[in-house]
Amino acid sequence: MRWIRGLSDWVIRTPATAWLAFGACVFAFVFGTLGWYGAFFGEVNAPWWAYPFIPDCPLAALMFGIALVLMHLNRTSNLINQLAAVFCIKYGVWTMSFWALYWLYTGEVELSGLFSGPVMFVTHLGLTIMGLLLLQYVRPGARDTLIAFGWFILSDVVDYAPIAVGRLGGYGYYPPLPWINGDPVALVPAMLWNAVVMTWLLNGALLIRALMWRHKATQHPAPARAPGR
């Protein structure tokens, strides 16, 4: 694990790698939002307040890029690090889970373009790994964890609560998904539970860690420094 942390530190502190990674994340955000969600916003007529909660995976990439460049500039935000880490892990796993189920039900493992299943599976595996690497830099903190927890709970509500008028199945603004044997919502219940479980599993684990760290700090406070030292 030490060499992984060392390599991560090198990427962060080296201008060429840090800014190249940031540029790649911005490109992924723009390309993913326009390519996968572009027409979707008009089709579902989403209200303006829902926009930040809809392009989940592109926003995960952008959040990672912001977290990375802030660390490079020595302006680290623990809240941004935690949001970005959970974003990448949650939606990376979510997307890989969808494609695995899609292939299981349809057997259609086509490689027809940049938004085909195999390409998206590999890129979102990379997104998950990015989140796990960033998790190394997340410090225990109950306030940051509760803010992140609230964001992802609200995101799940926007995606799956019955708030999108006319949406098939009575769901919210979940991402556009390929149909399964002519059924546009066949896998939506499974993906709903995937999203909810990941929200509570990731943020819950981080909250427990933060509370344990706080308890340990109160039980074993740091020794006072001697005067003049």
Domain boundaries along the sequence of the chain: 2-218
- What average pLDDT score do residues 63-82 get? 98
pTM above threshold 0.85: yes
- What average pLDDT score do residues 73-94 get? 98
**Whole-number Å distance between alpha carbons of 52 and 87:** 13
Q: Give pLDDT, residue 224.
A: 54
| pLDDT band at residue 229 using 50, 70 and 90 as cut-offs | very low
> 3-class SS at 141?
coil
Does pLDDT of 223 surpass 80? no
Q: How many CB atoms lie within 10 A of CB 203?
A: 22
Dump pLDDT digits (tens) for 188-205.
Answer: 999 999 999 999 999 999
Instruction: Measure the CA angle with vertex 120, ends 116 and 122; round to 5°.
Output: 125
Torsion sign (Cα): 176, 180, 183, 189 = negative
**Whole-number Å distance between alpha carbons of 13 and 46:** 40
Does pLDDT of 72 surpass 60? yes
